[in-house]
Each structure stands twice: as C-alpha cells, then as structure tokens.
Amino acid sequence: MRSILVIGGNSDIGYATAKVFAKNKYNIHLASRNMDQLNNKKKEIENLYAVECKVTQLDLLQDDQIVNFFDKNPKSPDIILIALGFMQSEEKNFERIINSNYLSPLKFIEKSLINYLPQKQLKTIIGISSVAGDRGKKRNTIYSSSKSAFSSYLDGLRQRLYSDGVHVITVKPGWVATKMTRDMVLPKIMTTNANFVGNKIFKSYKSKKNTLYVPKFWLIIMFFYKMVPEILFKFFAK
C-alpha cells in the first residue's frame, strides 16, 4: 500500500490532506511537535479509514530532530507533504517566520533526498506555499518573501528531480480559515477551508499538476496583481 508522510501533521491543511489520502487507502505518517494531538489524529484516521497511521514527534526548527527523524524512519514513503507555516508579528518573529516557512522545510527535503532517493520509492513531493509569495507586499513583507523563496525552491526542485522520476507540486492557497488565521478578519466570499484545500491537493497529485492555486480564481487574481506597475503600490503606500 502506498504511503504519504505529512510534515506538519497537526496543521489544519496537513491533517485535512492526510484524511483525503487515507480515504483513498494510502497509509499515513504524521509528524509534528505535539504528540498528544498526533495520537488523537492517529486513532481517528485508523478508525475511520482502516489504514495504518504512524506518528512521529518532530520539531522542524531543531536540526538534531531532523537527523534523528531519518535514523528512526529509514524507509522511504511514496509521497512527502510539507504542510507547515508560521505568520505572526514580523518585528518579533522574523527569524522564526523565515525558518518555519523556508529554511527548515528546505533542510528536511534535502535530507529526505539523501536518505530516500536511492530507494527509488519516493515519487512525489508536495509543498504548501502561498499566493502571498507571488509578489512582495507592504504588509507581511517577511512572510511573503519566505513563501516566495519556498515557491522558487520547489520550482527549481521540480526540474532537478525530473530525471529521477520525482514530481514536485507547489500549492498556493489564498485565504484559508485555519488556526493560523483565526485572529485575522478574512473576506468570507474569498475564504475557503482546509478540507477544500486537502481535496484539491489530492486531485493535483493524481493529475501531476505542477502548481496549484486554490481556489482556482487566485490564479487569475495573481496574474493581474503581478502586472500592476510598481509605481501604483508606492503611490498608495504614502
């Protein structure tokens, strides 16, 4: 039976996606910091979908835990999903934002390639980025730049791993109602939920999509947003 490793298994999007894969009879491996939450999710998945669900404690910001993860989990999954993110006050948390959204996921993926690629089992890597990374903004400058860096990395990785038979999918959600955005006032008409995103991720995996904007209307919005002349942003920033 095929398997998916979800880094950020306690995140709303990560867990919602895991449930979609479990429903389609993939074994699940959830990794995150909080073991109590992971164990609850393990019970739910195994009871609902009759698949195996493994859980591993992992703080991706700790390099030694990344090394230990591969010592404890030498067997390659078929799919790796990177589904973690961090967005809070940029003045106080800029290093954590960069590490959580870019550097730590990059380190984990690179370590996974060293450990798993020779086994020829790994076929897909899925990374959750954001539409915020498509263009720098006055607000959330560091968050958007970290997501931009992650998107660029995934795009390059897609080319790099093509000859190895590994497909890379970049997922760019817009506004999603999750724990991370619960203190934000989001426009209801443009806000979706984690279950919707999880279903779209599974469909993009099956169709081997390169980049997934979710919902799809963000593809059109960001196309025109990137065409707006810089001088207009400067004018309205006054």
What predicted TM-score, i.e. pTM, was given to this entire model? 0.93
CB 18 within 8 A of CB 38: no
CB 143 within 8 A of CB 42: no
Kindly list the domain boundaries of the chain, sorted by start residue.
Answer: 3-236
User: Which superfamily does 3-236 belong to?
Assistant: NAD(P)-binding Rossmann-like Domain (3.40.50.720)
Q: In Å, how far from its chain's centre is CA 187? A: 22
The backbone torsions φ and ψ at residue 59, rounded to the nearest 5 degrees and listed phi first, read -105, 105
One digit per residue, the tens of pLDDT, for the chain of length 238 reads: 899 999 999 999 999 999 999 999 999 999 999 999 999 999 999 999 999 999 999 999 999 999 999 999 999 999 999 998 877 656 678 888 899 999 999 999 999 999 999 999 999 999 999 998 998 877 778 889 999 999 999 999 999 999 999 999 999 998 887 777 766 666 678 788 999 999 999 999 999 999 999 999 999 999 998 888 888 777 766 6
